[in-house]
Amino acid sequence: MTIRLGDIAPDFTAETTAGTLRFHEWKDGGWAVLFSHPADFTPVCTTELGRTASLKSEFDRRGVKAIAVSVDPIDSHNGWTGDIAEIGGTDVNFPIIADPDRTVANLYDMIHPGEGDTSTVRSVFIIDPANKVRLSLTYPKSVGRNFDEILRVIDALQLTDLVPVSTPADWQPGDRVIVSPALSTADAVARFGDVTEVKPYLRWTPQPVA
Ligand code: BEZ
């Protein structure tokens, strides 16, 4: 199933390292990052899940829950968590879904047959409080993800949901932002005060407080 931005993230019930859960119920009206990895006990995946565990306070601060998935069974996940904790420097503090029957992988189109085998590639879905998919990323098995980028996108989404602005290339929190085309320059000045018009369609303003 192809998932497009704006689609409702498919719901599912799954066995995880934190017990059986129903995805939408577990999200509980918050943000979620659902991400797949190819296989347990593999080097890149171990660094990725360790990094996710180490970022718990950053996810919490943004009201985001992380949840991982692979097609490995629960016994394998449970056996692997010690290694993840060792590499990440902290206990695994998010659920890892066991998806041996590929229910979640198929719902989210995480298996790409051209990528070598029947395991999941490195998919990432950022899902908002209304259960809408707001970002999807797909990385090959050989390339570990940049979790700072995932946090950066969450920051940008949370800002632009609240204020009529967009974020430019390479934006980092605190950088100037772009006034939404939906706002006239006069309205933008009334709302933000400091607006610099470089082109009629490109107007900068310091990052507003959301
Ligand atoms: C890894 O996590 O290192 C990995 C897993 C599957 C294929 C390639 C690399």
90-137 pLDDT, tens digit each: 999 999 999 999 999 999 999 999 998 899 999 999 999 999 999 999
pTM over 0.75: yes
The reply to whether 98 belongs to the active site is: no
Instruction: Name the residue range of residue 53's domain.
Output: 13-145
Mutate to test the pocket of ligand 1, among 42, 49, 117 (most ligand atoms within 8 A of CB): 42
Check which CATH number belongs to the domain holding 173 and give it.
3.30.1020.10
Tabulate helix, strand, coil % of the chain (nearest 5): 35, 25, 40
Nearest CA to ligand 1 atom 1: 44
Residues 94 and 68 in one domain: yes
> Mean of the per-residue pLDDT values for the chain?
97
Span from the CA of 44 to the centroid of ligand 1 (angstroms): 5
CB neighbour class for 105 (10 Å; exposed up to 12, middle 13-18, buried from 19): buried
8-33 pLDDT, tens digit each: 999 999 999 999 999 999 999 999 99
Residues 36 and 78 in one domain: yes
Q: Which of 96, 117, 145 is the last residue of a domain?
A: 145
